[in-house]
A and B are shown apart, each in its own frame.
Chain A
Amino acid sequence: MSGWRHPELGDVDRRKPVWFTFDGQPLSGFAGDTLASALLAGGPRILGRSFKYHRPRGLWGLGGEEPNAILDVTFDGKTTPNVRATTEKLRNGMVLQSVNAAPDAARDRFGLLDLAHRFLPAGFYYKTFMALGWMRWEPLIREMAGLGKLDATHHPPADTPVMNAACDLLVIGAGPAGLAAAAAAARNGRQVWLVDEARAVGGSLRWRGGEIDGAPWTDFAATTCNAVKAAGGRILTDTVLWGAFDHGSYAAWQRREDQTNVHWRIRAQNVVLAAGAIERPLWFANNDLPGIMSCEAALHHLVLYGAVAGRRIVIGCAGDAPYAVAAALAKAGCQVTLVDARKDTPPAPDGMRIIRGAKITRAHGHREVGAVTVDGTHLDCDTVLVSGGFTPSVHLHCQAGGKLDLDKASDSLIPRAGTSPIRTVGAANGAFGLAAALEQGHAAGSGAAPAPRAVDRGWALDPIRPDPGIKGRVWIDPQNDVTLKDVRIAAQEGYQSVEHLKRYTTLGMATDQGRNANFAGLAAMAVLTDRTIAETGTTTYRPPFTPVPLSVIGGMRRGEAFSPPKRLALEPQHRTCGAKFREYGGWLRPAYYGEDEATAQQDEARTARQAAGLYDASPLGKIEVIGPGAAELLDFCGYVRMSTLKPGRARYGFMLSEAGIVHDDGVVLRLAEDRFIVSASSSHVGSVRLILEEARQDRFDPSRVFLHDVTAHWATLTVSGPLARAILADAGFSVPDIPHMSVAETRWKDIPFRIARVSFTGDASWELSVPARYGGELHAVLDAAGTAHGARWIGLEALMLLRAEKGYVLIGKDTDGVTMPHDLGWGGPRASRQDEYFGRRSLFTPEANRNDRRQLVGLQSTNVPLPTGAHILAPGDTRRSLGFVTSSYYSPTLDRAIALAMINGGRSLVGQDVTVFNLGETYLARVTDACAYDPKGERLHG
């Protein structure tokens, strides 16, 4: 421990101590600390271990780019892995655990791996572990890999609201450039959203300080925030703008004190990117030792938290920026030595030593830094602060499709103007000076008056590059343990494209998103392959800018909200009757009534045949087709002609896809000359409507026919069975005497009432429909009359059994995506229709014309029902399937097992025995007609 707490500096509340532990060691910080600042001021230096070599790792930076200080944090009994110490607020009672270390960061036994580092270069695993098979080695490697540990018992709630917003101008980053942009735009009356990932506005001004327009910067910030709010805009702090998406949409993650996160989707007319820049490290030997930190981060922690990085500090740099840091640290009482690679430097601040024209070539220390070599001279120290220049945060510009250019003055890649819809300003644009940042921001906010004024700080810098000739191990990516040597090996082996470099060495793929590593890797590769940085190229920038909790993006879509099932209007009534619900085609419907499924299904099916069954048919799609062009439209869209249907009658038909595949089946009711109802199966209503709509709008005169999906408008209850007519009479309906396949519109107690005689069970059935709000009344009278006659409510399981007895298909269960109507025994229209209809031509391809197509048949087995999904084997060939069982039940009425199957050339096999295969076992079954019950259909007319 070399860090300490300054007695005065910082915004922490020294009257409120906060207690926590790190790797079991009790520690304390103050209210207002982050985990990082508390650990820096009073904790150990080793906070974790690196990914591959298990090298000790300490705090490096100050924000979302921190690569090392990643911790598992337990709070309130729940652990969250991989928490970034720099962005997490310290709370009383937090338990912090280092990651990738056993038993802890200080004593990690895997640290021995580092001794073998020379045998574990980049991509070593591609070259070995082949002899005994990778699976032999993989478990070992897997156990070693990974950072934190997931807490199996911690299920964060799905409580993140998704908020949609729109604004005139979105300003990303509330540092000087962003504030200036927001101020100018707000003064012009534009609605500005100003977003920053830090807890307060100001950006680097917060620790660098400064005057704007001759007053403290805080005045300017306060005025700006007021102006933004006054113009109807909004300031979002603690908010990471993490993704630029299509058509000007952006995603942001807001963290709120003691409240849920917010997932923002922001649609902006214009966007200004003022995300600043992050500091680069220096590339000397052992530059990964704990105690080596970003210079800017040291100032940040000093000024905002009073957390001082060390006492005897060496600062390595080649630019002016660290001079202010050095001055602040010296003033705070540290012994500071400045090592500047430049010969011409500004004057050294008071009270420190400066070494000009020199570089740190090596850091020394076993577990943390204790000295450095500066051009051959040994310098003892306890802390090294480094500044190798700055990397602008251009991610969002690139996410939005923007290109980059190398800017010599700032020695960085900055946005090429006009290549993305985003305007980048300030440090993110390579303008590191305060005055320049204000000027650019002001201009981007379309400020007319003069820009806010400030005295520029010195920001001159000399470019620094990793030197491949340097001796020792030089880290490029500290978390993933990629060294300069690894980049050299990649170059030597031909992995020279930046993407190959990244993938081969894992450079830039750590949880800092490569923000610390990418530029150095790129620069090193450029040097090694004798190319410019522009020639070497950059990797693609993609969302997220900073790792975002999955819980934020997932929002509240969990449980039923993930994909809400459709519910019946009469669900409460069915529940009262003992229904157990299951999902069918997106609807929650009664599966059976009672406790035991098998018993209930058999009882219900038996009762329906002997007395009557009542069931809820409301999910059946009802699409009204209205107008003089209705019949013509239906003729084209359907496989069976409907123009010949008489008003008041109903006809069963199919709707095909244009590829000739059976898409849906159902009954069409003709209510009047110009009015039909197409009943689609419950899961196909939407797609059937689209088939009709497309033909209506593309092929016909849309003014002559209109479609209206009225599925949800009606409650439909069906009474089916020998006692159905008696039940209807008892219930007090005046049932018009209409034959099977007819429909009548009438009234029941002044309520619109539709009766259709169509049957899905093979028994005489009446479908009764009333407007959905009267469903309860209909249910009540039917329930009473039905009970009196020994009828019962039947669930879908029994209904499926009843229709299977009749050989009626269920689209999607008995058919699949290759089934054509003639495979189901409906070859009539295909043979006879001369007019055009949807899917027609596809019914005559060579494949459609084959006579050994898979056809619907029945199967009769011994008493045990065949497993659905079992296959029918070709005779004498256990390696060839002829088809499969699609529906299978025990029929209580027939007192035997029944099944439907799709079998190649099935109809020609009727009467023959076949072998049925299921999961290693075989059964014998006889191919029969699909209809097993009442083949003449006499019961329909009861």
Chain B
Amino acid sequence: MVSEYKNILFKVIHLRSIIGYNSLVFALKKTPLIGDLIPDKLYSTTFLKVIYWIFHVIVEVFKLFIGKIFGLGLIYLAAFLLSDQYIEHEMVHGVSRSTMYGNLGLFFFLIYAFCGILIRVPYFNCTTEKEYLVFMLRMDAKKLNETLIYYDLAKLFIGYVMTGVFAVITGAPFWLWLGIPVLAILVKFIGIGLQLLSFKIKDKHHKSLRINVVAYLIRLALVLLAGPFLIVFVANGYYIPMPQMAVITGLTVLAGIWGFTEFRRSGSYLHRRVLHDNIGKEEVKSTSQYDNTKSFKKIKAKGTVKGDKKGFEYLNALFVKRHWTMLCMKPVIFTVIVAAVMIFFTAEFIYGYYSRFGSDNCWNMVISNIINFFTFRGFSDALLPVDYDPAFEFFRYVAQSHLLGLLIPLSIADNSFKNTQAMFINCDNSLMTFSFFKQRDKIIKLFDIRLKQLIKINLGPVISLGLFADLILFVTGGQSYPGEYLVTIIIAFLLSVMTSVTWLALYYLFQPFTTSVIAKGGAYRITSIIIYSAAAIIVWVPMVSYILAPVLLVITAGYVFFMRNRVYKLAPKTWKIKA
């Protein structure tokens, strides 16, 4: 039996090592600049494989301790420090420090184990090597799971025993040192037993055996909710007396034995089905190369384009109509949030005014200031004085001289990158196979239409952020020169145009997407990084709005012209499906 487990374990580790090594070489070969220099021979270089295998073993050993030190190590540390405090402040009577150490250590461990990490068992996820072994090489699924579970529990036991050495040195009782590792294994079996029981029930009712992460999230939420109570409990010097603690531990042991029995009784069929229904979960997590086109496939079939739109105008109008949620939801949500924040602050201010000066004064203030706003004057406190706030000066300075900072919220609201992904996966990817789509004049025609569309989609955030800045100006004294409110909105608009044209032109000049919408291509990434870096510097440049607006207008016009020109010249060659 042991030799069988050993054989299986050897196969798994060997396969993991091969998959890891080959994935590493593959990733290197796909890396820009250095990728072309890496020969295919690297896949079969034994020397490097051995080095990778040694590295793999070191990582395994590292993983053996790191979790334990951070988890159990912290528990022992807390128990050590608190038991000292309990004894020093005479919060407990007739209990030795060592027993208190053990009691608190056990208490924290049980909370950690049940609510947190230990009870969660990832053994039923179908990793790549499990998929190969069970579904291609026809290995017995239960034997494989059994081997991996015992291997993991052995690592857990060793890690906990070694971590426990520090506890014993700092005065923990011996039963805690050996008891916690055993209890940890039993808690794991409770998790395994519960998971298998749920699979059995689902299987009986012919339901999918997908692992439910909701239960885990609920447990995490419970831990977070229980945290404050736990702190209060401990801070007040409370503790669960030893007899009660023994009963809880005894029940845990019994439940663990049940879990183990449940695990032993489970059949190979169930394990195979579970693995089958959870294929790709780990793969997805580790590589993120899952099919992320699904979110782009939610196309609404409703409606059509009315009016006299033809050709590319017609194509674009249809595209927007059938992808409205995907394209516009983010900017709309952003606009609503900004509007809600403005309304909240305004309402809060009015309410404060009302509480202090009464309804008549408040009403007069509101009316006079609505008039003031529309006549481009500042906020009036003529009726009754409002407290001077030094923060006003700062916000006014920002709203007048740091409007380039609007690039930050505008970039957050901007959905152009996702828009280009949707354009590629649901439209261009297919039309690129037709020759007309690659003709220079047609490319630029569609580019112009799309640029206008992206600018339109971003109008909500532009106006809301512009008004937000205007509101700050208004409250802090009104506009300094005629038309400042309008200029602020124009600046937001121009920045948004720059953002839109950047993403769209980058898409046309580098076409980075694969058919699974993953952005690849070194040049695209490097250019994006350069643009981001430049933007990160630009947002800090102070410039008063009446100078910024004309400067920005010229720069934006030049930038759009330049990008459009690049697209016109280069896109027939660059805008294509990645082979």
Q: Do A and B come from one complex?
A: no
